[in-house]
Amino acid sequence: MPGEHEPMKRRSPVAETGIAADAVVARARAWLREAGRVVVFTGAGVSAESGIATFRDALTGLWARFDPQALATEAGFRADPALVWRWYAERRAAVAKARPHAGHAAIAAYEARGGRRVDVVTQNVDGLHRRAGSRNVLELHGDITRVKCLEGCGTPESIDAAFDWRGDPREPPPCPRCGAPLRPDVVWFGEFLPEAVLAEAQRAASACDAMLVVGTSALVHPAAELPMLARRGGARLIVVDPAETAIDDIADARIRAPAAVALPSLLAE
Ligand code: OAD
């Protein structure tokens, strides 16, 4: 079990390259072996090596190329439903083609090995953790392969049985119950996260011994508060990301490497 912790604000050891890097990785690996409860908290970066674009990377990120107000808000959808629908159709097609990589597989194998409780809390809507075999997955921002009624008319939240989304029509199909347009079952800007899922993620974060944060800029709230909850609860915080993140200052270890490279060795038996 992790031991004493230093104060919240301080620089953490960084694994870049060389012997010092190996020492940071070894220490983080030991924390992850010893921990009885672990939360793996992921963002878009964990899917980057599966070919899915992140949001805020300078040249390749979706929000560097597209307007989130037009494409990821209810107002944007109401203003131009066909445009938003087609944009999500393209992203769904990319997700359908993508395959989980060695990093996703390492997380799933770590959970399957048993001996500890592992919760994967993800901001991603691509389902790659579940497809890799992770079982305890909390999806904070929804699932791009599901749809729901724009007016929330009381149909079950997930009505993917309502139509074949792989045959994507050009316009949003009507809700089978009330006729309002169907929309992607993802959380848009200005919307609340699914309450029960967020509460469970907060509970897991507060109770864990170690939190492994992978591929998130940690800029979007309330998801970005989960690492703070983990630190406050006394957990070791390990950040895997090739770039700086907003939570580097409170991390116990920062591993500056891509997920598919870092995770298999970090989570090895
Ligand atoms: P961001 O695009 O903000 O951050 C992605 C992070 O992944 C960055 O820190 C990158 O350096 C890192 N990264 C890039 N390639 C990587 C790799 N191969 N391995 C590991 N890390 C890598 O994405 P999120 O933090 O997930 O919200 O964004 C949070 C939310 O903002 C998203 O869920 C989405 C977006 O608006 C909603 O859709 C509600």
pLDDT digits (tens, 9 = 90+) for 91-119: 988 999 999 999 999 999 999 999 999 99
pLDDT at residue 182 greater than cutoff 50: yes
Question: Is there a contact between 121 and 226 (Cβ–Cβ < 8 Å)?
Answer: yes
Would you state the pLDDT for residue 146?
A: 86
What number is the average pLDDT over the span 152-161?
64
Question: Is there a contact between 191 and 173 (Cβ–Cβ < 8 Å)?
Answer: no
Q: In ligand 1, which atom is closest to the CA atom of 218?
A: 25
Look-up: residue for tokens 């490279």?
261
> Which distant-in-sequence residues (6+ apart) come within 8 Å of 182 by Cβ?
147, 148, 149, 150, 159, 162, 163, 172, 173, 174, 175
What number is the average pLDDT over the span 66-74?
94
Question: Is there a contact between 246 and 192 (Cβ–Cβ < 8 Å)?
Answer: no
Please state, for a pLDDT cut of 90, what percent of the chain lies above it.
Answer: 73
Where in the chain do CATH 3.30.1600.10 domains reside? 53-97+147-186
Using CA atoms, how far residue 18 sits from 13, 39, 44, 173, 252, in Å, is 13, 28, 27, 54, 19
Among 60, 91, 216, 239, name the best residue to mutate to test ligand 1's pocket (greatest count of ligand atoms within 8 A of Cβ): 216
Among 41, 42, 49, 54, name the best residue to mutate to test ligand 1's pocket (greatest count of ligand atoms within 8 A of Cβ): 54
Rounded Cα gap, residues 121 and 104, in angstroms: 13
What number is the average pLDDT over the span 234-261?
96
> Which distant-in-sequence residues (6+ apart) come within 8 Å of 1 by Cβ?
34, 35, 36, 209
Lowest mean pLDDT, pick from 68-72, 160-164, 255-259, 265-269: 160-164
Lowest mean pLDDT, pick from 99-103, 165-169, 170-174: 165-169
Where in the chain do CATH 3.40.50.1220 domains reside? 1-52+100-141+193-269
Q: At what angle do helices 259-266 and 102-112 cross, to 10 degrees?
A: 20
Would you state the pLDDT for residue 5?
A: 37
Give the length of the chain.
269
227 cis-preceded (ω within 30 degrees of 0): no
Would you state the pLDDT for residue 153?
A: 87
CATH number of the domain located at residue range(s) 53-97+147-186 in this protein: 3.30.1600.10
Assign 161 a pLDDT band (cuts: 50, 70, 90). Answer: low
Q: Which of 101, 104, 129, 141 is catalytic?
A: 141
Please name every residue paired with 57 in a beta bridge, in sequence order, or none if there are none: none
Would you state the pLDDT for residue 59?
A: 81
Known active-site residue 141: yes
Quote the mean pLDDT of the chain: 89
The pTM assigned to this predicted structure is 0.92
CATH number of the domain located at residue range(s) 1-52+100-141+193-269 in this protein: 3.40.50.1220
pLDDT at residue 195 greater than cutoff 50: yes
pLDDT at residue 167 greater than cutoff 70: no
Assign 251 a pLDDT band (cuts: 50, 70, 90). Answer: very high
Pocket of ligand 1, beta carbon within 6 A? 43-46, 48-49, 54-57, 61, 72, 123, 141, 186-187, 214-217, 219-220, 241-243, 245, 258-259
